[in-house]
Amino acid sequence: MMPRNDVLAILSVLRRAGADVVIAGGWGIDALLGEETREHRDLDLLHVREQEPALDRAGRECAGGLTEERAVARATYEKAEPTALPAFADEADEAKAYRFTVLDVKGKLRLYEYLTVVRSGSTTLAFRAEILGTKDIGGVPQDVMAAQWRKFRATRA
């Protein structure tokens, strides 16, 4: 589990280390909604490469040096194409959905990623589906997007 207090502690360590990050994933959606909508198992953070020294400092302070390092692989985006919008898209000010076809680092396997972005007023919700295999799942699951959209709209009522 990743409780709210742990998230705040991690963000505090990052701030002290001078790391500039963006909260993504489930905690990012909850931050936009202004409430904790479910239990979380992790904290997804995005950063630019130039921030890595600050993240290393923060990692040593936060986890006693026990940090996870992931390799960055440079795959090739073969194409990006529009795909079906979620059923609630007509309720938003703007909605776009894309399917990305990605060639693996060896240029042999085709992988698929989906991104759906919905804007309502000054708030933008982004939903991603990243597939680790070669099977095309057809998009971000509609039930996941619809549930988050309902929670978002309830905060606006």
pTM here is 0.53
Q: Which residues are CB-neighbours of 41 under 8 A, at least 6 positions away? A: 1, 2
For residues 119 and 95, the answer to whether their CB atoms sit within 8 Å is yes
Band the pLDDT of 66: cuts 50, 70, 90. very low
Helix H or strand E encompassing 76: strand 76-82
Average pLDDT, the chain: 81
Q: In what order do the strands lie in the sheet with 94-103?
A: 76-82, 94-103, 110-120, 123-130
